[in-house]
Structure 1
Amino acid sequence: MELKAAVQAMFAPARHPGRVGAEIELIPVTDGARPRPVDPAVLAAAFDPSFVREAVPTFEPGGQLELSPAPRPTVGALVHDVRRLVARAEAIAARNGIRLVAAGTNPYHCCHEVPLRVASPRYLAMQRLFDATGPDGRRMMRLTASLQVTVDLRAGQAGREQWLVANLAGPPLAAAFANSPTLDGRPAGIRGARTRIWQGVDLTRTGYDGRHLDPVDPVGAYGAFASAAARLPIRETADPACHLSTLFPPVRPRGGYLEVRYLDAQPIERAGVAIATIAALLHDPRARRDALDLLLPRIGDQARAWDEAAAGHSPESADLLSIAHAAEPALGGAAATLTEAASLTGAAS
């Protein structure tokens, strides 16, 4: 019963919905002909207090830098913040001989070259658990970077539509914005190596086969997903909310908002387009319905849809981008980028 209540709390709607947020991950490497991994302590020591207040910088297990500015009421305001804070981070890094790489996978290194920089009990337990299913857990923790988008969750039917669209749009949007052509520091032969890595991580925790989705009872399906996942062998997971934080589906309910996790890290000129696309699809009622008409027939075929996304192709990508473009006039200036993303997706098939 405690886990059920915790899951229901994760699907609670926002009190005043409408905001959009983003978490930007970047891979720090030394700036030179032979880039090396960077100790996060070097960057952390260089951040000034005003940057820390605005960007709330943290570091992922492999030393990836994450910036988490506050959510904003409009996409335009958020993108302005993101651009400004990324530019500040890049300037700080450059003064310390560091370059920040905006890519879904580390283009230079393999796991043996990138230690577990944040060796907390949680991350050590995750690593041991993931090692049982293969090497992709370590790759995910140490080598990948994402652009995460957060969108306030609405009440009732609108919120259920948001949840379904956010999840089912994952494969076509991951394909359209694929930005991870390397694996273990070498060409991967696909554009979506980060997506392929996530497919190889323990599916009982990631749901990259759609096992956590149900169009009729989304909360019940997610509760069953959470119940089936083994608890990490750390004291904190006695708390159901902590256990839920150790699940890593493509979209995670967070209590008042949804956290969209499947996009590769993006160059700053494309990050705004990606953020605006997700916001348009989830906030605009007509866009949600049009997206559901397009995507719902494949709810039982998510494993194949994610396979297509990893290869850099999804048959729904161009139509989904068109729906987002029609819903959000502010995307008009980015029409060329959307068209390019759709054409690249088709060319990869």
Structure 2
Amino acid sequence: MSIPQSGGGPIERHEQLAEYMASGCKPKDEWRIGTEHEKFGYCKDTLKPIPYDGPRSIKAVLEGLRDGHGWTPIEEGGNLIGLTKDGANVSLEPGGQLELSGAPLENIHQTCDEVNEHLRDVKDIADKVGVGFIGLGAAPVWSHDDMPLMPKGRYKLMDSYMQQVGTTGRIMMRRTCTVQVNLDFSSEADMVQKMRVAIALQPVATALFANSPFLDGQKNGFKSYRSRVWRSLDDARTGMVPFVFDEGFGFERWVQYALDVPMYFVYRDGKYIDALGQSFRDFLKGELPALPGETPTLSDWADHLTTLFPEARIKKYMEMRGADGGPWRRLCALPAFWVGLMYDQSSLDAAWNLVKGWDAETREALRVAASEQALQAKVGKIDMLDLAREVVALSDAGLKARARPGAGGLVPDETHFLNALKESVESGKVPADELIEKYDGDWGGDLSRIYGEYSY
């Protein structure tokens, strides 16, 4: 979940809403990669979620990173709720999941170094205070009541509202984790092509990274239950946004979509003001019930854009949001997968040619099937394993064409970061398949085994 945004001054013209997003356009040599990932923390002796406060807690981990690794604190209402350093930030998800939002970096070598350093630092602190962290798409055992809501005003508002607009919002908040990558675009036309490919191929990412087959201590019938959760969360702000494929789609059409999404809050003077269900269109007219007579700033608009949760979304950059949190290797594979597709024009064109004939029903059916069956999914004549194999190959070709070396030039490009995905398309198995096999086999249905074998 995002921290408060700093977007700018008063909104005086409607055009500023689209201009805000368009201001993110960058020439290709300035494109960057921002990787985000979430993980669950737990007490090593009880295998229960860690609370916000206390000797074994999220706060203790944040304080350890602050005091021992040079991070600057972010506070809200007197509570330590995040950290920042060198363009990156660490934040708390609603149920205490710890998130790294990485700095915008030039290549996957750098972003993987960043992930590795972060996980090493977190493990250093976690070991000292007796906690562990694990990368999964959904909490396998813990109930809703096991996971305390973190002390952030945004989450308190969302928690109550989620119960009014869907059936799984509170599961999403407390009991799921994701990994995503944020990428740039050069122009409106480039954004449109990338957004269409991103939405169409999110189900492939969901399938390849599926890692949430358990909930409430048992199999849940899905390979990616996290993806299933998002389908029943809030129809106004989630989903496959089919209008992205309409003729004439661009920044202004995204503005109209965002204006139709009900608000959550307005952030003023360090506090979240309840604007649940209210209209940003009314806000623009000075008629917002939460702040009568006041009109929004671009910071308010930037905040509102963070409350849209489709499978891919636009701010000043584009976010790919379809993947489960997971094991260490796949935290680097996810940005590699999308960079190979999006940052090489030949691969991007080929990906668009692959998906441009699909209709909205096909795209949605792929999304559903990916959550249920991962690489074993089939929709009409589309076989997910064959599709994933072809898409991973396009990504591999894109990374080869980028030819960004690492390890002081000893590694010629970024393709090795796809190795985990190449193994999946060769075997047909993703992390969820491996977990289910262990649960049904060696573990004998004992999910406590997952912490010892899959923690960072």
TM-score by length of 1: 0.90
- The separation in 2 between residues aligned to 1:34 and 1:19, in whole angstroms, is 38
1:297-312 alignment to 2 at 5 Å? Answer: 297-301=357-361, 302-311=363-372, 312=374
1:22 to 9, 26, 35: 35
1:308: Cα distance to partner?
1.3
- Using the alignment, how far apart are the partners of 2:13 and 2:216 within structure 1? 41
SS of the equivalent of 1:252 reads: strand
For the 8 Å contact 1:204–1:229, the answer to whether it is kept is yes
Q: Which residue of 2 aligns with 1:221?
A: 253
Deviations 1:75-108 (A, max 9, x none): 1111111112111112211211111111111122
- Distance, in Å, in 2 between the alignment partners of 1:3 and 1:170 is 31
Aligned twin of 1:140 = 172
- Is 1:296 the counterpart of 2:353 in the alignment? no
The alpha-carbon distance between structure 1 residues 62 and 3, as it changes in their structure 2 partners (threshold 3 A), is: farther
Aligned to 2:205: 173
Residue 327 to residue 241, structure 1, CA distance change in 2 (3 Å): closer
48-57 or 174-183: which moved more? 48-57
Tell whether 2:197 aligns with 1:188: no
Contact 1:30 1:38 in 2 (8 A): no
Using the size of structure 2 for normalisation, the TM-score is 0.70
Distance 1:203 1:44 in 2: 34
Shift of the alpha carbon at 1:186? 2.9
| Equivalent residue in structure 1 for 2:132, among 95, 99, 103 | 99
Highest Rg: 1 or 2? Answer: 2
Deviating more after overlay: 181-190 vs 75-84: 181-190
Paired residue for 1:63, among 96, 102, 109?
A: 96
The 1-side partners of 2:25 and 2:303 are apart by 21
Q: How many residues align?
A: 344
Residue among 195, 201, 207 paired with 1:163:
195
More divergent stretch after superposition (305-314 vs 273-282): 305-314
Give 1:325's aligned residue.
396
Q: In the alignment, which residue of structure 1 is the partner of 2:117? A: 84
More off after superposition, 267-276 vs 299-308:
299-308
> Aligned partners of 2:38, 2:131: CA distance in 1, in Å?
15
8 Å Cα contact 2:240/2:311 also seen in 1: no
Does 1:205 pair with 2:237? yes
CA contact (8 A) 1:250 1:261 kept: yes
Unmatched 5+ stretches in structure 2:
1-11, 53-57, 72-84, 267-272, 284-295, 378-383, 401-412, 434-456
Give the deviation of 1:340 after TM superposition. 2.5
Q: Give the Cα–Cα distance (whole angstroms) in 2 for the partners of residues 324 and 107 of structure 1.
A: 31
Q: Secondary structure at the match of 1:76?
A: helix
Q: Deviations over 1:158-205 (max 9, x none)?
A: 232122222222111111111111224432222111000111110211
Relative to structure 1, the CA distance from residue 332 to residue 57 in structure 2 (aligned partners, 3 Å threshold; closer, same or farther) is closer
1:270 counterpart residue number:
330
Tell me the secondary structure at the aligned position of residue 416 of structure 2.
helix
- Letter of the 1:6 counterpart: L
Higher helix share: 1
Once the two structures are TM-superposed, the CA of residue 339 in structure 1 deviates from its matched residue by: 2.5
1:230 maps to 2:262:
yes
Residue aligning to 1:9: 20
Is 1:48 the counterpart of 2:66? The answer is yes
Q: Percent identity?
A: 24
Higher deviation after alignment, 57-66 or 183-192 = 183-192
Alignment root-mean-square deviation, CA: 2.4
Q: Which moved more, 1:259-268 or 1:180-189?
A: 180-189
* 1:260 alignment partner, SS class: strand
Gaps of 5+ in 1: none
SS of the residue 1:154 aligns to: coil
Partner of 2:49: 36
Q: Distance in 2 between matches of 1:3 and 1:186?
A: 50
Instruction: Write the mapping of 1:330-345 to structure 2, written as runs, cut at 5 A.
Output: 330-334=413-417, 336-342=419-425, 343-344=428-429
The one-letter code matched in structure 2 to 1:259 is E
Residue by residue, what CA displacement relative to the aligned partner does 1:16-43 show, whole Å, maximum 9, x if unpaired? 4321111121111111353333322222
CA deviations 1:242-273 (Å, max 9, x no partner) are: 32221111222121x21222211121112212
Q: Tell me the distance in 2 between the aligned counterparts of 1:93 and 1:14.
A: 39
Distance (Å, rounded) in 2 between the aligned partners of 1:29 and 1:77: 29
For residue 319 of structure 2, give the secondary structure of its aligned residue in structure 1. strand
> Hey, what's the Cα distance between the residues in 2 that align with 1:145 and 1:3?
35
What SS is found at the alignment partner of 1:37?
A: coil
Report the CA distance between 1:119 and its aligned residue.
4.1
